[in-house]
Chains A and B, each alone.
Chain A
Amino acid sequence: MRGIYKIYPPEVLALENVDWSLKKGEVHSIVGENGAGKSTLMKILSGLIKPSSGKIFIKDCHVIFSAPYQAMKMGIGMVHQEFMLIPSFKVYENVILGSEKDLSKFGGLLDKRKAKSIIKSLSEAYGFEIDINAAASDISVAAQQKVEILKQMFRKVEIVIMDEPTAVLTPQEIEELFGRLRKLKEMGKTIVFISHKLDEVLEISDRITVMRKGKKVDTILNKDITKNVLANMMVGRDVIFRVNKPFKTPGKAVLEVDNITVNSIKRKTLGPVRFNVYEGEILGLAGIEGNGQFELVEALIGAMALSSGKISVKGIDVTNIAIRDRRKYIGFVSEDRKYTGLALKGSIKENLIMTHHIKNEMHNLPFTINWNKGEIFAQRLIKDFSIVCRSISEQCISLSGGNQQKVVVAREFTLNTPFLLLDQPARGLDVGTIEFIHKKILDMREHGIAILLISADLDELFNLSDRLMVMREGKITGILDPSETTKEDLGAYMLGVKENV
């Protein structure tokens, strides 16, 4: 690819004079912060979007793609971050869709038996263990990803572009994915791996291209390179991975969770759970997804009714009060910023003043909002949390993931609640934004806020937490001191090998 530009009118320069090459049989990673242009570049290569200028050459032949199927014909396929599957279709139907013409007989009648046998042997050849007759909506995310890869293999693609494939996977699944990618490489396929997780990139790639703000910084061979050098290239300055946090003696109990349980129709899903979070303390909650974290969050914010037990904040019983009243005591960063955290179609201003709008200073008359005050307030948050946006009335949907998360964090951290519930606050963000959000979390700790941090990222938990708590099957199975615990040890608690409560 030579001299690629992509301009989004009126004046957003997404890619600027990018030259990039790919060698047969390599695993080539592209790293960069959100908005650096990595996905845009690959979408151009896969024919999904057209470049504003520049040329693409394959084996020295100049090619022009105006639709994905043309790129596919040249052997280029992309596995998108958001999977392109039809939920109700069976696995094999998803694989053949769009290329099913070869499997038809008598003018369009599908030869399902033949299709199934081809897909089955293909899936076995690559060592995918997958039920080809299951509906796509019934299988796990990792399995859906396998289907996406199978789709590319069925189309005899030579170059597979994977856009942030690990973002949706658990650590074990990531290992499996890497195994599969290595196998694909052995079979002579070329793989492009887009990511912003540096450890993964260093593990899997032959070459690494670093991008920043729409420009290519460099393409380097993956040897003798360290994570710090790579991060520096990516962000343009040194990044501190180890967070320095001053020692603090915890204060009084702020959040008191007293033997709460949640029962669903079928079984007990949470509890009994009992713990406190103290003033100026970050309590990290570890656990494999689906072990009661969801229920705990829902119970704390008041979206799910308790079957028994009591929750109080600063001595005030909040067990049975409405969500709106609870928000005076509990700030909440949801793991799902797109649906729970934000009203995506609302403006940045509207999203920033949500909940703040109930306060008296936002009113002139009852039931009205003083938008002037709202605007001043929102402007201040945009500045304090360095949210990058074109205007205050821009819809949140057009912001990058990192900036969306900053909007949520800005709103929740300024509610002046004594307790903050943070559910995966840095999931899917780039290193620069993660660093920023971690700094803000530590600021809140300095101010004596009690924080419960739920995370799947063990580094994050170890860096930030004052205490670690492990949940398994709806119960607390361990309370650990991060300074005296290793990751492996924590893993053993998460898997239920060890318990200390």
Chain B
Amino acid sequence: MNFFAVLLKESINSATPILLAALGGAFTYYANVFNIAMEGMMLTGAYFGVIGSYFFGSWAIGLLFAIISSIILSTLFSFFAVYLHSDEFVTGIAINMLALGGTTYLLRSTFHVKGAFISSKIISIPSWKIPFLDHIPLLGKVISGYSAIVYIGFLLAIIVDIVIFHTSFGLRLRATGEEEVATRSLGINPLTVKFISAVLSGLFCGIAGAFLSLGYINLFSENMSNGRGWISLTIIILVKARPLGILLLSLLFGFFGALGVMLQNSSIPPQFTSMAPYIATLFALYVYSKQKRKGSL
């Protein structure tokens, strides 16, 4: 496979967890819950995905574990941030730190390893080969043969768009985020809506986490989410959480991430190449603010 085909494939792979987490965060964005805990939920999902897969020998149970653990964390987040009205930012930071410290501790106490846990007993999520398309030279390699979650992620972007803009729940979600008092006056409980949005973000982050440890690669390492939750947050804010915009920007960030990895083989020092996605973030923020300024005049 030539360089570009690999680059494209890697881009899509590294875009997927960002895409999933950002789609989850879109729900909380529209409900006006400032959710920065995607990072922690993803990491927790990644860890428990490995646990489920390793101990039960099934990727499905791994995925289930990932989703449940991440939802539990999001419930904890919404209990504090939504019901107790604690500061969302502080709560989110606490959740992220809890996830980082907690998974690191559990990794060491359960498997007695430091850094990363690799085992052949971790069953990964199967990859799908699309019939017919798979046999087309070059193109087949680029669009076929990904982990199932990649395809699901793309599909979810469309589904989330429909849910938010064309369903009864979406209407209530956006109304709650915009005018809580008015929504309450119409017999809708804003707390319930916000809670559901947080759970949904947990669900999506759980899938993202499972993809990290069971799809993309087959191991768990400390802090393996590595800032992806934050990049998701950036994307959400940049595109005002439009699901299709999230899809597009995730691919862009995935591309820079993959570029960073691939350039490690070149003569550029790896410390610089791994900066690529973050430099891209700053650049995107620059372009965005410029445009916003133009728009306001």
Q: Across the interface, which residues of A come within 8 angstroms of B170, CB to CB?
A: 110
Q: How far does the alpha carbon of A425 sit from the alpha carbon of B181 in the complex, in Å?
A: 29
Q: Across the interface, which residues of B come within 8 angstroms of A299, CB to CB?
A: none
With CB as the reference atom, state the residue of chain B lying closest to A93.
Answer: B171
CB proximity of B294 to chain A, nearest CB, Å: 15
Q: How far does the alpha carbon of A97 sit from the alpha carbon of B170 in the complex, in Å?
A: 11
With CB as the reference atom, state the residue of chain B lying closest to A48.
Answer: B185
The number of inter-chain residue pairs (CB within 8 angstroms) is 65
Q: Tell me which of A64-72, A328-336, A469-477 binds B.
A: A64-72
Q: Across the interface, which residues of B come within 8 angstroms of A366, CB to CB?
A: none
Q: Across the interface, which residues of B come within 8 angstroms of A72, CB to CB?
A: 187
Specify which of B167, B171, B182 is in contact with A84 (CB 8 Å cutoff).
Answer: B182
Q: Across the interface, which residues of B come within 8 angstroms of A69, CB to CB?
A: 186-187
In the complex, the answer to whether B178 meets A86 with C-beta atoms within 8 Å is: yes
Q: How far does the alpha carbon of A103 sit from the alpha carbon of B179 in the complex, in Å?
A: 22
The 0/1 profile, CB within 8 Å of B marked 1, for residues 28-69 of chain A is: 000000000000000000001000000000000000000111
In the complex, the answer to whether A108 meets B178 with C-beta atoms within 8 Å is: no
Q: Across the interface, which residues of A come within 8 angstroms of B183, CB to CB?
A: 86, 97-98
With CB as the reference atom, state the residue of chain A lying closest to B162.
Answer: A109
In the complex, the answer to whether A84 meets B186 with C-beta atoms within 8 Å is: yes
In the complex, the answer to whether B178 meets A97 with C-beta atoms within 8 Å is: no
CB proximity of B295 to chain A, nearest CB, Å: 15
CB proximity of A254 to chain B, nearest CB, Å: 39
Q: Across the interface, which residues of A come within 8 angstroms of B171, CB to CB?
A: 89, 93, 96-97, 100, 110
In the complex, the answer to whether A110 meets B166 with C-beta atoms within 8 Å is: yes
Which B165-210 residues sit within 8 Å CB-CB of chain A?
A: 166-172, 174-175, 178-179, 181-188
CB proximity of B172 to chain A, nearest CB, Å: 7
Q: How far does the alpha carbon of A494 sit from the alpha carbon of B184 in the complex, in Å?
A: 42
In the complex, the answer to whether A97 meets B172 with C-beta atoms within 8 Å is: yes
Any B CB within 8 A of the CB of A87: yes
Any B CB within 8 A of the CB of A85: yes
Q: How far does the alpha carbon of A112 sit from the alpha carbon of B170 in the complex, in Å?
A: 13
Any B CB within 8 A of the CB of A80: yes
Any B CB within 8 A of the CB of A104: yes
Q: A68-B187, A109-B162 are in contact. Are A85 and B182 (CB under 8 A)?
A: yes
In the complex, the answer to whether A89 meets B174 with C-beta atoms within 8 Å is: yes
In the complex, the answer to whether A101 meets B168 with C-beta atoms within 8 Å is: yes
Most buried by B among A84, A96, A101, A103: A84
Q: How far does the alpha carbon of A74 sit from the alpha carbon of B76 in the complex, in Å?
A: 38
Specify which of B168, B174, B186, B188 is in contact with A108 (CB 8 Å cutoff).
Answer: B168
Specify which of A84, A96, A99 is in contact with B181 (CB 8 Å cutoff).
Answer: A84
In the complex, the answer to whether B178 meets A87 with C-beta atoms within 8 Å is: yes
Any B CB within 8 A of the CB of A88: yes
Q: How far does the alpha carbon of A101 sit from the alpha carbon of B179 in the complex, in Å?
A: 20
Q: A85-B182, A86-B174 are in contact. Are A104 and B167 (CB under 8 A)?
A: yes
In the complex, the answer to whether A108 meets B167 with C-beta atoms within 8 Å is: yes
Q: How far does the alpha carbon of A44 sit from the alpha carbon of B183 in the complex, in Å?
A: 18
Which A312-358 residues sit within 8 Å CB-CB of chain B?
A: none
Q: Across the interface, which residues of A come within 8 angstroms of B187, CB to CB?
A: 67-69, 72, 98
Q: Across the interface, which residues of A come within 8 angstroms of B188, CB to CB?
A: 97-98
Q: How far does the alpha carbon of A68 sit from the alpha carbon of B175 in the complex, in Å?
A: 17
Q: How far does the alpha carbon of A339 sit from the alpha carbon of B242 in the complex, in Å?
A: 33
In the complex, the answer to whether A85 meets B186 with C-beta atoms within 8 Å is: no
In the complex, the answer to whether A97 meets B186 with C-beta atoms within 8 Å is: yes
Q: Across the interface, which residues of B come within 8 angstroms of A101, CB to CB?
A: 168
CB proximity of A383 to chain B, nearest CB, Å: 36
With CB as the reference atom, state the residue of chain B lying closest to A103.
Answer: B168
Q: Across the interface, which residues of B come within 8 angstroms of A104, CB to CB?
A: 167-168
Q: Across the interface, which residues of B come within 8 angstroms of A80, CB to CB?
A: 185
Q: How far does the alpha carbon of A88 sit from the alpha carbon of B179 in the complex, in Å?
A: 10
In the complex, the answer to whether A110 meets B185 with C-beta atoms within 8 Å is: no
In the complex, the answer to whether B179 meets A87 with C-beta atoms within 8 Å is: yes
Q: Across the interface, which residues of A come within 8 angstroms of B179, CB to CB?
A: 84-87
Q: How far does the alpha carbon of A100 sit from the alpha carbon of B188 in the complex, in Å?
A: 11
With CB as the reference atom, state the residue of chain A lying closest to B167.
Answer: A108
Most buried by A among B169, B170, B187: B187
With CB as the reference atom, state the residue of chain A lying closest to B297.
Answer: A265
Q: Across the interface, which residues of A come within 8 angstroms of B168, CB to CB?
A: 100-101, 103-104, 108-110
Q: Across the interface, which residues of A come within 8 angstroms of B184, CB to CB?
A: 68
Q: Across the interface, which residues of A come within 8 angstroms of B181, CB to CB?
A: 84
Which B135-173 residues sit within 8 Å CB-CB of chain A?
A: 162, 166-172
CB proximity of B116 to chain A, nearest CB, Å: 43
CB proximity of B168 to chain A, nearest CB, Å: 5
In the complex, the answer to whether A112 meets B166 with C-beta atoms within 8 Å is: yes
Q: Across the interface, which residues of B come within 8 angstroms of A109, CB to CB?
A: 162, 166-168
Q: How far does the alpha carbon of A306 sit from the alpha carbon of B168 in the complex, in Å?
A: 51
In the complex, the answer to whether A86 meets B166 with C-beta atoms within 8 Å is: no
In the complex, the answer to whether A110 meets B167 with C-beta atoms within 8 Å is: yes
Q: How far does the alpha carbon of A45 sit from the alpha carbon of B265 in the complex, in Å?
A: 73
Q: How far does the alpha carbon of A76 sit from the alpha carbon of B187 in the complex, in Å?
A: 13
Q: How far does the alpha carbon of A237 sit from the alpha carbon of B174 in the complex, in Å?
A: 50
Q: Across the interface, which residues of B come within 8 angstroms of A93, CB to CB?
A: 171
Most buried by B among A83, A97, A109: A97
Specify which of B162, B167, B169, B182 is in contact with A86 (CB 8 Å cutoff).
Answer: B182
Q: Across the interface, which residues of B come within 8 angstroms of A85, CB to CB?
A: 179, 182
The 0/1 profile, CB within 8 Å of A marked 1, for residues 242-286 of chain B is: 000000000000000000000000000000000000000000000
Q: How far does the alpha carbon of A250 sit from the alpha carbon of B130 in the complex, in Å?
A: 92
CB proximity of B173 to chain A, nearest CB, Å: 11
Q: Across the interface, which residues of B come within 8 angstroms of A83, CB to CB?
A: 182
Q: Across the interface, which residues of B come within 8 angstroms of A100, CB to CB?
A: 168, 171
Q: How far does the alpha carbon of A99 sit from the alpha carbon of B174 in the complex, in Å?
A: 15
Interface pairs (22), CB distance under 8 Å: A67-B187, A68-B185, A69-B186, A83-B182, A84-B179, A85-B179, A85-B182, A86-B182, A88-B178, A89-B171, A89-B175, A97-B172, A98-B183, A98-B187, A98-B188, A100-B171, A101-B168, A104-B168, A108-B168, A108-B169, A110-B166, A112-B166
A89-B178, A100-B171, A109-B162 known, 8 other contacts, Cβ within 8 Å: A67-B187, A68-B185, A89-B171, A97-B171, A97-B175, A108-B167, A108-B169, A110-B168
Which residues of B come within 8 Å of A, CB atoms? 162, 166-172, 174-175, 178-179, 181-188
Which 6 pairs across A and B sit closest by C-beta, in order of nearness?
Answer: A69-B187, A98-B186, A84-B182, A108-B167, A84-B185, A86-B175
